[in-house]
Structure 1
Amino acid sequence: MLSTTDLRGTDLSVTELRAALPRAEYDVEAALHAVTPIVADVAERGAEALLELAERFDGVRPQRLRVPAEVMQRALELLDPDVRRALEVSIERARLVHADQVRTDTTTQVSPGGTVTERWVPVDRVGLYVPGGLAVYPSSVVMNVVPAQIAGVSSLAVASPPQRDNAGELAGYPHPTILAACALLGVDEVYATGGAQAVAAFAHGFDDTTAEPVDGRVPRCEPVSLVTGPGNVYVAAAKRLLKGLIGIDSEAGPTEIAVLADAGADPEHVAADLVSQAEHDPLAASVLVTDSTELAAAVEEAVTRRALATKHSERVQTALTGPQSGVVLVDDLDAGLAVVNAYGAEHLEIITADSPAVAARVRNAGAVFVGTYSPVSLGDYAAGSNHVLPTGGCACHSSGLSVQSFLRGIHVIHYDEQALTEVGQHVVTLAEAEDLPAHGEAVTARTGQTVGR
């Protein structure tokens, strides 16, 4: 089922390794052609466009775009108690981990009377996207909302596609488990819209004509400063199109798992983990990197058996047999580390002897899962880490979602007259070197210093 790439006996550069490794074909540029008119339509027609696009893409026209408070509460009341407790544990652990990411303001005294302070300020308003296509992701509500709240974002809204299978009072709204997760987190601004149109709605804002007027005025979804959260290629394309008008976390692609394992790894564990990511999406990537042909063969047998038996068998088999998945054979663990660092997986498992030491040598990964008892699914739900992570090799330059994603560093410069005078001639000299004399004059006008040359 899994293809094999044999890199034994080779000495490839990073560029050559990246070209040789399995990777999903994911053409965001092509999706821009489909997304551009959608974004323009939402910008021009607002709520009416969102309603029509929901009918077109989701098969249902929402009763209201903003989910009423009583519907949110009802979804929470209907939530299975075990699911509620699991979500509460996920929230508790995510808050614990993300609370340690909070930045503190730092003041540096550069000279007597001259200081630079770095202030950390949260963005004013964020739009958090939660997918609702092949699977339901209340865990993504947790992963988006918790760091935003801890960062101190004062205004946040969630968007998720309306579900045509919802019935009764929940008809036309996002999946009830997603609504319940929002309610648990105290999020009361949730919109029934998905895909590229949700990103456009957050970027441009819209008058919500589906809501009851407040004091005689039509309520408005105000534009946001930042949009975060995973989604399909159309969501990624909308983020690319609107980047600049809004900030984005990343252009998330299909999910990935790479497992670096040696002969001591349990093939059933490895196979279970490869299958677990493959059930996300037919484009999901599952890659095993190993120096053991015996392990590779055992994993292949176990993967085939598990793929045929699992609930989403067709989806899993499509992902595992695609060009994005496979086994990579290497000479030794050093070569394996070179491969996984070149690959830059969203999720990387290390199942080797002395796995903590091996994991410490990893430089490029969205998240690293160390040892036999740290499967990726733990991080998806309850490790406390964030599962909104860079894909497509972007882990070589980008990080996963965190509290810092919602903060901006602002430098505050405060120099008195003596401090400016002390350094002023250097400013003048550099200004003249760049042929920008007025820059220097802005200093000498204050200090009375003579321009140097």
Structure 2
Amino acid sequence: MSLQIRKLDSAQPDFKQRLATLLAFEAHADEALEQAVAAILHDVKTRGDAAVLEYTNRFDRIPGGAQSMAHFDVGQAELDAALASLPLAQRAALQTAAERIRVFHERQKQELGGFTYTEPDGTVLGQKITPLDRVGIYVPGGKAAYPSSVLMNAIPAHVAGVQEIIMVVPTPDGIKNQMVLAAAAIAGVTRVITIGGAQAVAALAYGTASIAPVDKIVGPGNAYVAAAKRRVFGTVGIDMIAGPSEILVLCDGTTDPDWVAMDLFSQAEHDELAQAIMLCPDEAYIARVEASIHKLLPSMPRSDTIRTSLTDRGALIKVRDMTEACEIANAIAAEHLEISADNPQQWADQIRHAGAIFLGRFSSESLGDYCCGPNHVLPTSRTARFSSPLGVYDFQKRSSIIFVSEAGAQTLGKVAAELAYGEGLQAHALSAELRLTRLP
């Protein structure tokens, strides 16, 4: 299959329609999958551990078949041993990434403190911030292992003050990934259970005899996991339903075209549905990037996936200027936005919608995936218009503080009673009026 990446021009009369077609992505509901997930959730909710055990033995092909849920618990000693077993360079990279992620999220926590203020009559109002008690972190297994996902999900929860962080991770054929276990040891995970799929989501949401129910479930997974998270939302909180990965590169034509081509590859290699787009006002430079794509692709181990992704959902788009590129970027609201240009800050000032913004030609998106510090769990499919990266705030909740003084009740009581009578809620009005007194 040859690579035929589409090229668009914002000056074309049908550009907006063609761009909308390019961006369109709707995860088609698979009725069979939805029914299977619904059945698994109901079964786990009804039969608990017995159902989780059956599904995990079946789907993950556990050698010899696990006889109890205790088989899936990974103790702290095994996590520490996994960390110690890693080659020195790998261990150091994990620890460096973890420290940078922790520092960033600790700074984030400092900016999210509660507050109180006192009014002249003595009434005190404010907001109290408290962490969630228990969260579940889903870490994908199977085709690939993602220790970076462990760090990005567990560390902000730990920084937020969550006391119990329960990680579930499937281990097909019973094979445990040592880097994933090592990452759990570094990130402060309190319990690791080697189960996955919809049954793991159900166990975390509803609880079983061996697994306490959590308050929130975060982390990516396959279609079954996504469907399960969607169905249990309301019983527990969830982070988001993530779509395919995306990168949008705004380039003024001054960056090495090989760099930009590889940045596009870095997202296209995730899967065939990933999306990689470049916006640039320089037609000659666009041609150079296209030449780099064709030159570099054959050397990529995941070239087939990259080729399909770029052919089906990728694009090189010529724009009038960088100002128009920013306007189009706001319409796309990409998960990852690179501004690969001289003086990138002037263009960043015009960006309103993006999951993460990478400024300058040295800020490759791949650095953000692993070790810059900000979270790599980002909104996709244009949800950056109203959603934010995963952070400490996702593992906290806010309670309002209201202390009304006797003097304050005299003023506020009259206002509340007036509004309550207007809504036809007499008990509300009387509750306020009973506190009206004559002050000395």
TM-score after normalising by structure 1: 0.89
In structure 2, which of residues 228, 241, 260 is the aligned counterpart of residue 251 of structure 1?
241
Does 1:146 find its partner at 2:136?
no
Structure 1: where are the runs of 5+ without partners? 165-171, 208-219
Task: State the SS of the aligned residue for 1:116.
Answer: strand
How many percent of aligned residue pairs carry the same amino acid?
39
Q: CA deviation at 1:437?
A: 2.2
The Cα shift of 1:188 comes to: 3.7
Residues 1:112 and 1:388: Cα distance change in structure 2 (over 3 Å): same
Q: Answer yes or no: is the 8 Å Cα contact 2:135–2:217 preserved in 1.
A: yes
- In structure 2, relative to structure 1, the CA distance for the partners of 1:53 and 1:295 (3 Å cut) is farther
* C-alpha deviation, 1:45, in angstroms: 2.7
Range with bigger deviation, 116-125 or 291-300: 291-300
Deviates more, 1:84-93 or 1:419-428: 419-428
State whether structure 2 residue 316 is matched by structure 1 residue 327: yes
Greater displacement, 68-77 / 434-443:
68-77
- Equivalent residue number for residue 230 of structure 1: 220
User: What does residue 199 of structure 2 align with?
Assistant: 197
- CA, structure 1 residues 330+310, in 2 after alignment: closer, same or farther (shift >3 Å)? same
Q: 2:246 touches 2:335 (CA, 8 Å); kept in 1?
A: yes
Report how far residue 18 of structure 1 moved. Answer: 6.5
- Matched-pair contact (CA < 8 Å) for 1:129–1:231: yes
Which among 66, 70, 74 is matched to residue 67 of structure 1? 74
| Match of residue 267 from structure 1 | 257
1:25 to 1:435, Cα distance in 2 relative to 1, 3 A? closer
* 1:130-158 Cα distance to aligned partner (Å, 9 max, x none): 11233211011110111001100011101
1:412 alignment counterpart? 401
| CA–CA separation in structure 2 for the residues paired with 1:128 and 1:415 | 40
Report the equivalent of 1:292.
282
Q: Give distance in 1, aligned partners of 2:24 and 2:395.
A: 30
Partner of 2:101: 94
For 1:26, the aligned partner's letter is A
SS in 1 for 2:137: strand
What's the counterpart of residue 33 of structure 1?
35
Q: 1:199 to 1:304 in 2, by over 3 A?
A: farther
Choose from 183, 186, 193 the match for 2:185: 183
Residue 221 (structure 1) aligns with: 211
Gaps of at least 5 residues in structure 2 are: none
State the shift of 1:237 in Å.
1.4
Q: CA deviation at 1:199?
A: 1.4
- Secondary structure of the corresponding residue to residue 411 of structure 1: strand
Match of 1:160 among 169, 175, 196: 169
Is the CA contact (8 Å cut-off) linking 1:9 and 1:331 kept in structure 2? no
Which range is displaced more, 330-339 or 372-381?
Answer: 330-339
Runs of 4+ in 1 over 4 A off after TM superposition: 9-13, 28-31
Comparing 108-117 and 363-372, the one that deviates more: 108-117
1:273-311 C-alpha deviation (Å, 9 max, x unpaired): 111111222221111122222222222221233222111
Distance 1:302 1:50, change over 3 A: farther
1-structure distance, mates of 2:334, 2:223: 18
Shift of 1:367: 0.4
Q: Which of 71, 80, 83 is 2:90 aligned to?
A: 83
Residue identity matched to 1:93: R
Which of residues 366, 375, 380 in structure 1 aligns to 2:364? 375
Q: Assess, with a 3 A threshold, how the Cα gap between structure 1 residues 356 and 133 changes in structure 2: closer, same or farther.
A: farther
Change (3 A) 1:281 1:58: farther
Q: In structure 1, the residue corresponding to 2:73 is in which secondary structure?
A: coil
User: How far apart, in 2, do the equivalents of 1:12 and 1:416 lie?
Assistant: 61
Cα contact 1:278–1:319 (8 A) shared by 2: yes
1:132 to 141, 156, 170: 141
State whether residues 390 and 398 of structure 1, in contact with CA within 8 Å, keep that contact through their aligned partners in structure 2: yes
Find the counterpart in structure 2 of residue 58 from structure 1: 60
Do the aligned residues in 1 keep the contact of 2:9 with 2:15 (CA within 8 Å)?
no
Question: What whole-Å deviation, never above 9, does each CA across 1:196-226 have from its counterpart, x for those lacking one?
Answer: 222111101122xxxxxxxxxxxx2100000
Change (3 A) 1:6 1:35: farther
Shift of 1:12: 7.6
SS of the residue 2:74 aligns to: coil
The Cα of 1:32 is off from its aligned counterpart by 2.8
